[in-house]
């Protein structure tokens, strides 16, 4: 596994866009939360300014920012690590020089898991740094109260990256694959869910792949509306276990079909 990971690193480190994506992710995760300190007005009925940076609520707000950044930067990255193989003909070269298709697939999965793990560890470190800096009275129970978001953040990273990986394998062309990735998440799925919601208003309207992924780390202050809607038998989000199971299901499908495509595709 370490050998496969090393091979992937030797390839992606040469890509300028890889370095740019990683740097933007690292900078923007803390910056997008801390920049709110410069805002003159934040609606108190939605969120208090202090709760953005203190334990335990910092995990939710930072995680929601990370949700958007992961969708864009890490999702795009997972598309690029596949499509650039075809553009640079390194996929063909790897097969010719002895790397099996199974090993090629495993290398990508190990890389996705590693990036997801590193992103989660960074989320953990940034959350601890901001929380310790801005919380007056710190108790261990406060720190870990919403720490359940940490494994959900990891699964969320895998969900976005597996979808991007699937599209990259399926389409092969970087520009088209990135366009479809962005359009599907931002527009197509939203339209499908809107139609679904209009005709059928039950839990099934939340069981779309990227919506379930987003529900792993949802927008925190929507909990106020969520409590009201639950009293009326209506929910804005999947429950955490429902979102996790749905993401695992779709991730398995994406990776299965990506594997089949790699195994039987022409080089």
pTM of the model: 0.92
pLDDT value, residue 84: 85
Q: Using an 8 Å Cβ cutoff, are 217 and 149 in contact?
A: yes
List all residues 6 or more positions away from 107 whose beta carbon is below 8 Å from its beta carbon. 4, 5, 7, 8, 99
Assign 239 a pLDDT band (cuts: 50, 70, 90). Answer: confident
pLDDT, tens only, 69-117? 999 999 999 999 888 887 777 766 666 556 788 888 998 999 999 999 9
User: 204 lies in a domain?
Assistant: yes
Tokens describing residue 110: 């190990």
What is the per-residue pLDDT for 98? 65
Q: Could you say which DSSP state residue 184 is in?
A: I
> Does residue 19 lie within any of the structural domains?
yes
- Cα–Cα nearest to 213, from 77, 68, 81: 68
Residue 247 lies in a domain: yes
Q: Return the higher-pLDDT residue of 139 and 129.
A: 129
Structure tokens at 169: 């394998």
Residue 42 domain flag: no
Q: For all residues of the chain together, what is the average pLDDT? A: 86
In-domain check, residue 126: yes
Q: Is residue 41 part of a domain?
A: no
Domain count, the chain: 1
By C-alpha distance, which of 12, 107, 28 is closest to 67?
Answer: 28
> What is the Cα–Cα distance from 64 to 203, expressed in whole angstroms?
22
Higher pLDDT, 99 or 220: 220
Query: Does 10 reside within a domain?
Result: yes
Contacts of 185 (CB under 8 A, 6+ apart): 71, 75, 210
127 cis-preceded (ω within 30 degrees of 0):
no
Q: Which residue has the tokens 């139609």?
A: 195
What range does the domain containing 116 cover?
A: 2-35+48-264
CA 245 to chain centre: 15
- Is 40 part of any domain? no
């Amino acid at each position: 596994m370490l050998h496969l990971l090393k091979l992937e690193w030797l390839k992606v480190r040469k890509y300028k866009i890889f370095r740019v994506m990683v740097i933007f992710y690292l900078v923007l995760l803390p910056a997008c939360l801390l920049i709110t300190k410069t805002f003159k007005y934040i609606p108190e009925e939605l969120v208090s300014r202090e709760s953005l940076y203190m334990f335990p609520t910092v995990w939710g707000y930072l995680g929601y920012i990370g949700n958007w950044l992961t969708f864009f930067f890490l999702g795009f990255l997972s598309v690029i690590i596949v499509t650039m193989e075809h553009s640079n003909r390194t996929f063909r070269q790897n097969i010719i020089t002895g790397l099996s298709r199974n090993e090629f697939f495993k290398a990508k999965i190990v890389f996705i898991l590693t990036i997801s793990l590193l992103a989660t560890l960074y989320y953990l470190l940034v959350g601890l740094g901001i929380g310790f800096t801005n919380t007056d009275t710190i108790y261990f129970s406060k720190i870990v109260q919403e720490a359940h978001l940490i494994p959900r953040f990891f699964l969320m990273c895998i969900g976005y990256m597996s979808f991007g990986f699937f599209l990259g394998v399926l389409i092969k062309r970087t520009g088209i694959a990135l366009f479809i990735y962005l359009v599907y998440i931002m527009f197509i799925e939203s339209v499908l869910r809107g139609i679904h919601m209009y005709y059928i208003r039950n839990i099934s309207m939340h069981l779309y792949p990227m919506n379930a992924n987003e529900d792993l780390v949802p927008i925190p202050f929507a909990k106020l509306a969520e409590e009201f809607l639950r009293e009326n038998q209506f929910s804005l989000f999947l429950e955490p276990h429902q979102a996790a199971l749905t993401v695992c299901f779709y991730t398995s499908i994406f990776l299965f079909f990506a594997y089949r495509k790699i195994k039987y595709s022409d080089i």
